[in-house]
Amino acid sequence: MAVNRVPVLKRCRSLDLDPVHIGIDKKSKRAAKTRRKMSEYALQLREKQKAKFIYGVLEKPFRNYYNKARKMRGMVGENLMTLLELRLDNVLFRAGMARTRMEARQIVDHKHVLVNGKCVNIPSYELKAGDVVEIKEKAKDSQRYKDILEVTAGRLQPEWIQSDLDNLKVTVNEAPGRAAIDVPIDEMLIVELYSR
């Protein structure tokens, strides 16, 4: 598996991104360097890199998400954001069962997650409306989840998911619209980049 070893805060600074969007409360002490004006292509590329970084997706899967979004009805950019939001690791992060999306990905990899009663260990598993995601019974009592719930207690949850954090269970009520996704990405720039 490919791993990006660039420090997270350094990457956030280069993408002009607040670390809160990836679940990290730290702030960088260094000021961002002032640059000359960016070209249109550079802006489009930065938006794509920002989306890939926030959701933890590599280039080829991201391209596949774009192609799938293009085949769906509606606006391509909104479809792309919806597909990224409905990933299993992202739903766990949004529900407050993981501090970051990377931690949610690790939880799924370690086979702690059941989707509709079946064990799923694929972080990119696409959820649908009505799916129920929960942590396995034997993992629920571990100290790890108590610590996670303590840290994520004040996190706002989107209205498209319903979570029962006492039982570590989440239900996806509906596919999120663009208005329900609070990620600072201009998806139209990504669409323009791929449609060159």
In the predicted structure, residue 49 carries a pLDDT above the cut 70: yes
Order of strands, sheet of 169-172, starting from the edge strand that comes earlier in the sequence: 118-119, 113-115, 132-135, 169-172, 161-164
The angle formed by the CA atoms of residues 76, 77 and 78, to the nearest 5 degrees, is 95
For 68-108, write each residue's pLDDT tens digit: 999 999 999 999 999 999 999 999 999 989 998 889 999 99
Amino acid 114: pLDDT: 94
DSSP state of 176: P
Amino acid 5: pLDDT: 75
What's the CA gap between 26 and 23, in Å, rounded? 9
Fold of domain 88-174: 3.10.290
| CA distances from residue 49 to 15, 29, 46, 144 in whole angstroms, order as listed | 8, 23, 5, 31
What's the CA gap between 38 and 126, in Å, rounded? 35
Residue spans per domain, the chain: 8-84+181-194, 88-174
In the structure, how many helices (H) and strands (E) does the chain have? Answer: 9, 5
In the predicted structure, residue 31 carries a pLDDT above the cut 70: no
Amino acid 154: pLDDT: 78
If you count them, how many residues does the chain have? 196
For 16-28, write each residue's pLDDT tens digit: 777 777 777 776 6
What's the CA gap between 110 and 121, in Å, rounded? 7
Name residues whose C-beta falls within 8 Å of residue 154's C-beta, 6 or more positions apart in sequence.
none
Fold of domain 8-84+181-194: Ribosomal Protein S4 Delta 41; Chain A, domain 1 (1.10.1050)
Question: What is the value of pTM for the model shown?
Answer: 0.87
- Do 8-84+181-194 and 88-174 agree at the fold level? no
What's the CA gap between 34 and 112, in Å, rounded? 44
Mean pLDDT of the residues in the chain: 88
For 117-159, write each residue's pLDDT tens digit: 999 999 999 999 999 999 999 888 889 888 888 888 877 888 9
